[in-house]
């Protein structure tokens, strides 16, 4: 569903929260952002989203709830599907990933399992425009981190994903940022 900002502002609280939960599955974030309506423009909505996320991310339970909204990529078959099936994904989100080598996909699947085992949550990264190799490189660079560092990294990546999803929800409305 794509909405105008005016339509979003006019949604019932329940429907607004449901729409926001498609962007980020942290209920605390969604409830607070729905409560902050109406927004004058998309930039105001994004700024409010950022401010609310900065507050709610201080509670690890909110972070984990948001991270749980992402599919876990844990096997080579699902990675092949993700990186080779351009018909079900936007081309710009798959740039360079269609010809990912099986070795890269296998390493990415193993890295995802290692990450989950070490940190207790899945690897979160703003994947738009990244190839499988770039994703693997980022995962391997972050794997040596401690849990607190990774929670902060994943929270920052989650916010990028949320901002993209919000702009898509609002029909890619123009922003000044």
| Range(s) of the domain holding residue 16 | 5-66+161-169
Q: What is the reported pTM?
A: 0.84
Mark whether 75 and 94 lie in a shared domain: yes
CATH number at residue 47: 1.10.3330.10
From first to last of its 177 residues, what are the pLDDT tens digits of the chain?
689 999 999 999 999 999 999 999 999 999 999 999 999 999 999 999 999 999 999 999 999 999 998 876 655 666 665 555 433 333 344 344 455 788 988 898 899 999 999 999 999 999 888 888 999 999 999 999 999 999 999 999 999 999 999 999 998 555 444
Mark whether 106 and 131 lie in a shared domain: yes
C-alpha to C-alpha distance for 73 and 112, rounded to whole angstroms: 7
């Amino acid at each position: 569903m794509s909405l105008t900002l005016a339509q979003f502002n006019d949604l019932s609280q329940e429907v607004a929260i449901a729409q926001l939960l498609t962007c980020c599955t942290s209920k605390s974030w969604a409830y607070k952002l729905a409560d902050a309506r109406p927004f004058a423009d998309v930039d105001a909505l994004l700024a409010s989203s950022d401010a609310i996320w900065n507050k709610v991310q201080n509670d690890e339970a909110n972070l984990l709830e948001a991270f749980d909204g992402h599919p876990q990529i844990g096997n080579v078959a699902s990675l092949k599907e993700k990186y080779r099936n351009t018909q079900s994904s936007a081309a710009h989100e798959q740039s360079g990933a269609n010809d990912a080598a099986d070795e890269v996909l296998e390493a990415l699947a193993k890295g995802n399992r290692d990450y989950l085992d070490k940190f207790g949550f899945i690897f979160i990264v703003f994947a738009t425009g990244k190839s499988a190799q770039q994703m693997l490189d980022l995962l391997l660079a972050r794997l040596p981190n401690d849990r607190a560092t990774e929670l902060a990294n994943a929270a920052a990546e989650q916010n990028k994903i949320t901002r993209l999803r919000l702009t898509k929800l609002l029909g890619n409305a123009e922003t000044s940022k």
